[in-house]
Amino acid sequence: MKNHSIFCRIRFCGFMVALLYAQSIIAQSDTTEIITKARQLERATTSEKSFPLDETEEMKRLPDSLVQVEITTIHYFVDTLTRIISTPDSVAMQREEIIYTDSSDTRGHYVQAYAGLGYGSLGYRFNNLQGSTTGGFVSGLLQAQYAYFFHPNWGVGAGLWFTNYTSTAHLRGDYTWSRQTDTDLEQNYDHTAHINRWNERQTIYNLGIPLSIQYRKMFDEKPVGIFASVGLAPSFSLGTSYRVLDGEINHSGYYPAWDLTLSELHEFGTKDYRNDPHSKGVIAVRPQIAIFADLGALLPMTKQIDLFLGGYFHCALNDANNSTKTPLGWRDETFTFMDEYKSSYALNETSASHPWEVGVKVGVHWHYIAPDKHNIIDYFDYFTRRDTTVETLSRLDTIYTTRIDTLTRRHIVEAAKKVEKFNKIYFALSSYELTHEVQQYLSSIVSILNDVPDAKISIDGHASAEGQVEFNEILAYNRAQAVAQYLIQHGLDEERVIVLGHGSLIPNDENVNHELPLDRRVEVKVVMNQSQIQK
């Protein structure tokens, strides 16, 4: 019995040993199978090829589209872990930028030229000459000047004018010289001169230097404007003249002792003074200070030239007469007691002379507009480089590594660079109107944008820092909307256009001098289509 019990125990132990050995054999075969399969899968996965980042001949044969490829490689490694590190980098580049001159800005330099026709006078009259009168005559005007407008409506000017002031004198009446001696030495007779007719003309040829304050205003809704100027003009005589046009005088003598009046004798009678040596000569004048004013209409002819039609007025503030005043007389061999005649302008009875002129004139205003600026701008194109690193861990794990390669269609990049070269469009203050130059540029890039139907077009509007925030936000959006509508009307698909208004929040990144006109802009950019990124 005892021996049977020992035998049973020995059998049980042998059975357990056999069972444990069988399980170890099975476990070893399962482990071998897992490792074998892992090595086969590792060889399979590591033998796959992903697209390289460099452009190869195989890549050049790919369809010309913007794609994003995700390649997942499954690694079965012991004690390995992969991670992706993004490293920022940049490359130096250049581009040409054109800053278009705002031709609607009326400030700046002007050249003004005029020709006029008017009526003028030396501005004097006769006192107590028995009905003698003065009048004016036709005058001409040539004027040229420079003006600088420091404000859209206000400016200052300086220049030269050439004009003439002309008067006519008409002498009338009887003039008596008492207690004179005749040619027979008869004393104390009264000599009387009766002017049958006497017409005379005096002229000053004048050079003026007008210094003016000017005002101009163009009306937006009408092709017309107004122009006015006032100022002072120092002026100088370039020459003077007088001429008796028609002069006939009847001379007679009254002798009180005989109570007799004699005429038609050799020393008395009618004399024609038109050919007398003193019937023409020069008059004496001094420099003047004149006040003047211009007023008229401006008619735009081109973006640089305006036509002026209006009137003008000049008047000297000081007395221009510099003659030595004498009584009326015509000295000659017969009448030596009279004074030498030097025109009616030099008579004692002549009042102060203030030459004046009024008339109409026509002219042109030429506005200097600076040419567009071409700037070469250096900038850095920033990008992100993605690197994969491997770290060793003290563990058994399965790591999934994902690499993302972006293949960009070459002519999308080329189109984006063409658009980026002139992607900034500038506007006038508080305006979202597209100028002719901007419309030409937008028309030129429509075909470029239509060649890349898979790309979105971002149109971002901006405003400068003047004005209220709400107004700038609306103005910036309206500028972007104006550019978008023009592109859509000329063939660009509306669904590809993104319109954004940023107000004055984002200054121009190239505006290093903080010039406000450079912030009034719209930027046109080519961006990737989001739907393709997720394919």
The residues, any chain, with a CB within 8 Å of residue 362's CB and separated by 6 or more, are 114, 115, 116, 307, 308, 309
Measured in whole angstroms, how far is the alpha carbon of residue 39 from the centre of its chain?
76
Q: Is 72 exposed, middle or buried (0-12, 13-18, 19+ CB in 10 A)?
A: exposed
Q: How far apart are CA 320 and CA 206, in angstroms?
A: 11
Q: What band does 47 get if pLDDT is binned at 50, 70 and 90?
A: very low
Please compute the mean of the pLDDT values over residues 513-521 and round it to a whole number: 86
Q: What is the mean pLDDT of the chain?
A: 80
Beta-bridge mates of residue 310: 296, 361
User: Which has the minimum average pLDDT: 219-228, 298-307, 412-421, 476-485?
Assistant: 412-421
Q: What is the dihedral sign for C-alpha 90, 92, 93, 98? A: positive
Q: What share of the chain in percent tops pLDDT 70?
A: 77
User: Where does the pLDDT of residue 535 fall: very low under 50, low under 70, confident under 90, or very high at 90 and above?
Assistant: very low
Q: How far apart are CA 92 and CA 531, in angstroms?
A: 31
Angle between helices 436-450 and 410-421 (to 10 degrees): 170
For position 316, what pLDDT does the model report? 96
Q: What is the mean pLDDT of residues 172-178?
A: 89
**pLDDT-wise least confident of 215-229, 421-435, 466-480:** 421-435
3-class secondary-structure state, position 389: strand
CA 72 to chain CA mean position, Å? 60
The number of C-alpha atoms within 13 Å of 268 and in the hemisphere containing its C-beta is 18
Predicted pLDDT of residue 42: 39
In the numeric block, the tokens 């250049």 are attached to 94
- Phi and psi at residue 412, to the nearest 5°: -70, -45
pLDDT for the residue 36: 46
Given a cut of 90, whether residue 533 has pLDDT beyond it is no
Q: What is the pLDDT of residues 239-278, one digit of tens each?
A: 999 999 999 999 999 988 888 898 887 778 888 888 888 8
Per-residue pLDDT, averaged over 209-227, amounts to 92
Mean pLDDT along residues 481-498: 92
- Name 361's Cβ contacts closer than 8 Å, sequence gap at least 6: 114, 115, 116, 117, 118, 141, 143, 294, 296, 308, 310, 311, 312
In the predicted structure, residue 410 carries a pLDDT above the cut 80:
no
Give me the pLDDT at residue 80, please. 61
- In angstroms and rounded to an integer, the radius of gyration of the C-alpha atoms of the chain is 52
